[in-house]
């Protein structure tokens, strides 16, 4: 039975092959302790690489997701800001000194009356009011001092 080279490169003869520890019908593999360690190390490295790839992908997606949220917020806040600034401009304009001056001059409420009507002297004796208050329905009002 031929030996099997699992690593695909030239094998060195070792003392293990010359002096078997146990006897029996075993298939003689061309494998030694060093190669086995390399194999295990490679496996470990492959696992680390895979983990890193998975972690990087997850991190990338997290970053992209966060970025899109931030971008969305940026667009929304800018939109609100633009609206706000428009409204602020209008408010400032409406309450500006000049707007008030113009409004006052339009309304012209400080204008004096064109014609003043003289009212004759009113009667000094006031007309008597009919006393139709329901005395029984009067509410008690607390008096102050």
Partner 1 sequence: MKYLFQLRSKKYDRWSILIQGSLFLFALIIIAKLFWVQIIQGADLKERARENRQSARDFSFRGEIVDRNGIRLAGDATLYDIYAHPQYYNKKTDLDLMTSILAKPLNQSKKEIKEKLSHYNESTISIAKNISMEVVEKGIRPEISKNEIRGLDFVKKNIRVYPQGNLASHILGYINSDANLAAGVEKTGQKNLVTTPSMKPVEYDGRGNIIYELNTNPKIVTAPLKGSKLSLTIDSTIQHTSETELKKMIAQTRADKGAVIVLNPRNGEILGFAVYPSYNPNKYNKVNASIVKNWALSDVYPPGSTFKILTIASALETGVITTNEKVLDTGKIKIQGWDIQNYDYYKRPYPGIIDLNYLFVHSSNIGSLKISLKIPPVKHYEMLKRFGIGQKTGIDLPGESAGIFPPPNTWSEVTHASMGYGYGIASTPIQIASAVAAIANKGVWVTPHVIKCQSEEEYLSRIKTRRVLSEKTAADLTRILAKSIEDSEATSGKIPKYRVAGKTGTSKKPNANGVGYSSGIYTSFAGYFPVKNPQVLIMAVIDSPKTGNSWGSTVAGPVFNAVATEVGRVLHLEPDKKDEEDKKQ
* Residue ranges that bind partner 1, judged by CB under 8 A: 4, 6, 8, 29, 63, 66-67, 70-71, 73-74, 76-79, 81-83, 85-86, 88-89, 92-93, 96-99, 101
- Name the H helices within the chain: 15-18, 33-94, 97-107
Alpha carbons 55 and 48: distance in angstroms, whole number = 10
For the record, the structure tokens of 67 come out as 């970025």
Of 10 and 120, the one with the shorter C-beta distance to partner 1 is 10
Minimum CB–partner distance for residue 4 and partner 1 (Å): 4
Q: How far is the CB of 11 from partner 1 (least distance, A)?
A: 14
Question: Closest CB to partner 1 among 37 and 74?
Answer: 74
Nearer Cβ to partner 1, position 9 or 139?
Answer: 9
Lookup result for tokens 């939109």: 79
Q: Please, which residues have CB within 8 angstroms of residue 106's CB and are 6 or more apart in sequence?
A: none
Task: Between 25 and 134, name the residue whose CB sits nearer to partner 1.
Answer: 25
Location of structure tokens 């600034």: 85
């Amino acid at each position: 039975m031929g030996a099997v080279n699992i690593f695909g490169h030239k094998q060195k003869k070792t003392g293990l092959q010359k002096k078997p520890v146990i006897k029996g019908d075993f298939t003689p593999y061309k494998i030694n302790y060093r190669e086995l360690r390399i194999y295990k190390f490679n496996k470990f490295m492959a696992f680390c690489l895979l983990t890193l790839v998975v972690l990087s992908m997850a991190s990338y997606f997290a970053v992209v997701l966060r970025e899109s949220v931030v971008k969305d917020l940026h667009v929304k806040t800018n939109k609100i800001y633009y609206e706000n600034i428009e409204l602020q401009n209008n408010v400032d304009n409406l309450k500006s000194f000049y707007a008030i001056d113009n409004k006052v001059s339009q309304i012209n409420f400080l204008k004096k009356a064109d014609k003043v009507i003289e009212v004759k002297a009113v009667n000094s004796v006031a007309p008597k009011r009919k006393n139709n208050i329901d005395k029984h329905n009067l509410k008690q009002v607390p008096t102050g001092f």
